[in-house]
Amino acid sequence: MLDDQLLEKYIHTFYGYGNYHGDFWFVGKEEGGGGTIEDALQRLNAWSRRGCRELEDVFEYHQAFGFTKCFGQHPNIQPVWGKLIRSLLKAKGQEATRDQVRGYQGQQLAREGGETCLLELLPLPSPSAGIWLYSDYSQLPQLLERQVYRESYAAQRADHIRHRVLKYKPRAVVFYSLDAWYQQWWRAIAEGANFSTHKNGFQSGANGSTLFVIAKHPTTHGVTNEYFEAIGDLIAAHSSDSSILPKHV
């Protein structure tokens, strides 16, 4: 059985990786991994040992439970992170070659003190929407079913992220899922932004100096590198039009 007290603390406290002071934030549906209860337990225990932080350094945290293949000098390009990095590089006016993506992921993505922030609306690690292990290993009533879990925690976590956006004012926030259920929370976080749809299919809207983008999930069938690079071009154009200078991190 999982430690329900620790599990509940994780749900209410852990939001993702990187640096709230960074210019570029990416917000997904839920934490990946957790294909087995042993994997989920390793992640929880590593988080606890490291001080139960709201944001983790993505490399140091994964290293703490033995997952290192996506970091270092020659990492495997992670399917989600790789496409997000393409948009980030283009937003900075850089070319998004495979080598540059690999290098950024291995050395810079979502590091403490860096320029990026990887957040999740829902925190418990799960490899897919069709897998839900927690009802068998926890006595928390909110974890009886995935849908109960989603409805129990999404609103409060979306509101927390909204307040973080208002406080830190990132240059861009990219939400990645066009699923209607998640879009309601993306729009709640981006309160005050009026969204329009681009020819590529993603949506964007600004609130003050922050540009919000609602995009397809990077692993959606048929999504291309060019799709995410176009998002980066949009962020770059918005920054130029608004005379926004990159923040010093």
Give pLDDT tens digits for 88-119. 999 999 999 999 999 999 999 999 999 999 99
Give the pLDDT band (50/70/90) at residue 242.
Answer: low
Quote the mean pLDDT of the chain: 94
Domain of 33, in residue numbers: 4-241
Give me 47's structure tokens: 């988080």
Where would I find the beta strands (DSSP E) of the chain? 16-18, 24-30, 55-56, 116-122, 172-176, 196-197, 203-207, 210-215
Does residue 155 belong to any structural domain of this protein? yes
The owner of tokens 């810079």 is 108
Does residue 246 belong to any structural domain of this protein? no
d(CA 189, CA 116): 18
Averaged pLDDT for residues 59-84: 95
pTM of the entire predicted model:
0.94
Burial class (CB in 10 A: 0-12, 13-18, 19+), 126: buried
Burial class (CB in 10 A: 0-12, 13-18, 19+), 53: middle
Query: Residue 212 gets which letter from DSSP?
Result: E
- What is the pLDDT, as a whole number, of residue 240? 75
Do 27 and 176 contact (CB within 8 A), yes or no?
A: yes
On the CB side of 96, how many CA atoms lie within 13 Å of its CA? 24
Tell me what percent of the chain is helix, strand and coil, each rounded to the nearest 5.
45, 15, 40
pLDDT digits (tens, 9 = 90+) for 120-157: 999 999 988 888 999 999 999 999 999 999 999 999 99
Question: For the CA atoms of the chain, what is the radius of gyration?
Answer: 17
- What is the pLDDT, as a whole number, of residue 164? 98
Share of the chain above pLDDT 70, in %: 97
- Total domains in the chain come to 1
Instruction: Look at residue 215 and give its three-state secondary structure.
Output: strand
Give me 51's structure tokens: 């001080």
- For the chain, give the longest Cα–Cα distance: 53
Averaged pLDDT for residues 172-187: 98
Does residue 247 belong to any structural domain of this protein? no
pLDDT digits (tens, 9 = 90+) for 10-61: 999 999 999 999 999 999 999 988 889 999 999 999 999 999 999 999 999 9
Does residue 66 belong to any structural domain of this protein? yes
Judging by DSSP bridges, how do beta strands 24-30 and 116-122 pair with one another? parallel
Does residue 148 belong to any structural domain of this protein? yes
Averaged pLDDT for residues 211-232: 97
Averaged pLDDT for residues 6-12: 97
- What is the pLDDT, as a whole number, of residue 243? 45
In angstroms, the Cα distances linking 17 to 129, 146, 231 are: 21, 23, 21
- What is the pLDDT, as a whole number, of residue 245? 39
Domain harbouring 97, CATH code? 3.40.470
